[in-house]
Amino acid sequence: MPPPAPRVSCPACGHAVSRVMHVEYRGEGPAVEMWRRRQCDACHARFTTQGTERVVSGPTIYLRVDILPPTAST
């Protein structure tokens, strides 16, 4: 499991809690740039953060599960 993401502090007041208002993805391939528009819960200032997400692809596995009703033994 990856480590938890670091907290993003408001650049205007330093408050540690903000809400994501909008997310935009740019680029294609294994690494996609992600831009988040945030709003501070304390002072309501808006600011943008940028990061990179890695797309991990692997084999697709399909599982078939058959659920049968129990049969009555005679």
Query: pLDDT truncated to tens, each residue of the chain (74 aa)?
Result: 556 666 788 999 999 999 999 998 887 777 788 889 999 999 999 999 888 877 666 676 776 666 666 666 55
State the architecture of 1-58 in CATH terms: Single Sheet (2.20)
Nearest to 43 by CA among 15, 71, 68: 15
What is the distance in angstroms between the CA of the first residue and the CA of the last residue of the chain? 51
Strands (E), 27-67: 31-40, 46-54
- For residue 58, what are its two tokens? 């692997």
Q: What is the reported pLDDT for 13?
A: 93
For the chain, the domains span 1-58
DSSP β-ladder status, 46-54 and 18-26: unpaired
How many other β-carbons are positioned within 10 Å of the β-carbon of residue 51? Answer: 11
Q: What is the reported pLDDT for 46?
A: 94
